[in-house]
Amino acid sequence: MIEINAIKCHIGGMASITIRNLDESTKQALRERAARNGRSMEEEARLLLAELEQGAGSVEVAASGRPQAGPAVAARPSPEPAISGFPAAGKRVLLIISGGIAAYKSLDLIRRLRERGVRVRAVMTAAAQQFITPLSVGALTADKVFTDLFDREDEHDVGHIRLARDCDLVVVAPATADLMAKMANGLANDLASTALLATNRPVLIAPAMNPAMWSHKATRRNAESLRRDGIHFIGPMAGEMAESGEAGEGRMAEPMQVVEKIGELLDTRPKPLKGKRAIVTSGPTHEPIDPVRYIANRSSGKQGHAIAEALADLGAEVILVSGPVSIPDPKGCEVVRVESAREMQRMVEAALPADIAVMVAAVADWRSKGEAKEKMKKEGGKGPSHLELTENPDILKGLGHHKQRPGLLIGFAAETEKIVEHARAKLERKKADWIVANDVSPDSGIGTTEGGVMGGDRNRVRILTREGVEEWPELTKQQVARRLAARICDHLAAVTATA
């Protein structure tokens, strides 16, 4: 067998390689090494080039000499994902692009997946190449683009069966009515449909077509068959079509919606909170004074939303009851939007029973007694109107004393002084199990560059339990959320163990 250095030497001597052009003995050595590592020859060659590149500067690689099969790309070792924590990071997606105007969205989809550490290999139908080029797709995947079923070189190197299975998920985006019809009927007359018939991996499709085509009985039948066959769907969405003057159901889901669905399907992280139900409150409440004015506390909702998402990530069924905020909904949660404290309390209590409740909302303590139906007028020289306040219900305290009290009840305490002392009193008064206390005083030194804890992205908390106080270091709000969710898991596991 030829030494691997010889392969490197052969490959390294070329500005651009075609496996077909390697001499027989080098090809054989590459074939054996690829088989040993469970990779295609092309993949193996790319990895070798990547190694070479690290040691000896840049090497241009074109896995095929044929220009339509993808651009010459510089082989690079897998970069660190620019966005960390994506559940499908490190996984491989085979993206099948079929021919519709929405094909342009697949370019963005590739970028969003790659920046999250997902490897993307693309297959394009002939029609897809009428809308976008293999050159742009290949530049974004940094891999060869597969277009032909009867390609001697591809078949020798990767093969359509291997292509269909060397991945964790097959994604069809956009999925045209034509490709859906082929899939539903088991047709295999081009590379895309053959790979879809040959794959043993889960398949996700993002249909995109004119609303009349989507609502046609034939498409409805095909979609139904595909659903029964276990094909996953994302969209289509309702809205404006790319064709002018057309609107309805048929738009391809936006790339980030497809990304989220892919993350969900490929999420193999453990789900220790599966079967548990959690209620989380977040954001401020707005207490109306008149139709245009309200009383509120400062709160961005960032911490509460992050906690809801962290609990959902661990498998909990999460109901997030949120006051008015301007941040996106957390993933994987049912979101109930409210305005006032009384509304929040109603929705929290309607969501009972629950195993876990985390009350993060900055609920306004008071509301105006008797909300004015008309805008209160500023009358010159008379000074400000008198505002009579009345106390709002305490939602946390209500839950603490409720006959359906959640198994683990957690409150928050934003304090500016005597933090532990005040938080401990709150724990007792509201019958909570834990209080997460944070210092929101201007001199807490946290997030000073971004406007303090409230509205900022960082937090330093103490967890008060009946056993004692845990001091956590300064963390991002996401980190606090993940750590709290993990702490909740440990607690519930310990409770189950002693039960």
Residue numbers of the site for ligand C5P (CB under 6 A)?
281, 341, 359-361, 363, 365, 392, 394-396, 411-413, 426
The length of the chain is 499
- Nearer residue to ligand C5P within complex by CB, 102 or 359: 359
Contacts of 400 (CB under 8 A, 6+ apart): 409, 430, 431, 432
Looking at beta carbons, which pairs linking 446-449 to residues 24 or more positions away fall under 8 Å? 446/474
In the complex, least distance from residue 467 CB atom to ligand C5P, rounded to whole angstroms = 19
Which candidate in 21, 210, 297, 392 is catalytic?
Answer: 297
Pick between residue 256 and residue 425 the one whose CB is nearest to ligand C5P. Answer: 425
User: Do 437 and 462 meet the contact criterion of CB atoms below 8 Å apart?
Assistant: yes
> Amino acid identity of 281?
T
- 251 forms bridges with which residues in the sheet? 237
Q: State the minimum distance, in angstroms, from the CB of residue 412 to ligand C5P.
A: 4
Residue closer to ligand C5P (CB basis): 241 or 344:
344
The nearest distance, CB 458 to ligand C5P, in angstroms, is 19
Q: Taking the CA atoms of the chain, what radius of gyration do you get in angstroms?
A: 29
Neighbours of 51 (CB within 10 A): 15
Query: In 3-state terms, what secondary structure has residue 318?
Result: strand
| Residue 340 C-beta: closest distance to ligand C5P, Å | 11
Question: 39 vs 431, which CB is nearer to ligand C5P?
Answer: 431
**Which CB sits closer to ligand C5P, 294 or 412?**
412
Q: Which of 438, 353, 435 is nearest to 397 (CA)?
A: 435
Query: Nearest distance from residue 284's CB to ligand C5P, in Å?
Result: 10
Q: How far is the CB of 492 from ligand C5P (least distance, A)?
A: 20
Start-to-end CA span in the chain (Å): 62
Q: Is 171 exposed, middle or buried (0-12, 13-18, 19+ CB in 10 A)?
A: buried
Known active-site residue 297: yes
Of 253 and 413, the one with the shorter C-beta distance to ligand C5P is: 413
The least CB distance from residue 353 to ligand C5P, in Å, is: 18
Please give the Cα distance from 234 to 207 (Å, whole number).
7
The CA distance from 22 to 7, in Å, is 9
Strand intervals (E) in 449-495: 458-459, 461-464, 469-471, 475-476
Report the distance separating Cα 113 and Cα 263, nearest Å: 9
Q: Are 282 and 304 in contact (CB under 8 A)?
A: yes
- Token pair 């339509």 in the structure block, residue: 68
CB 395 within 8 A of CB 363: yes
Please identify, using beta-carbon distances, which residue of 96 and 336 lies nearer to ligand C5P. Answer: 336
SS percent in the chain: helix, strand, coil, step 5:
40, 20, 40
Phi and psi for 356 in degrees, rounded to 5?
-135, 140
The least CB distance from residue 341 to ligand C5P, in Å, is 5
- 347 neighbors 338 (Cβ within 8 angstroms): yes
Q: Which residues belong to the active site? A: 297
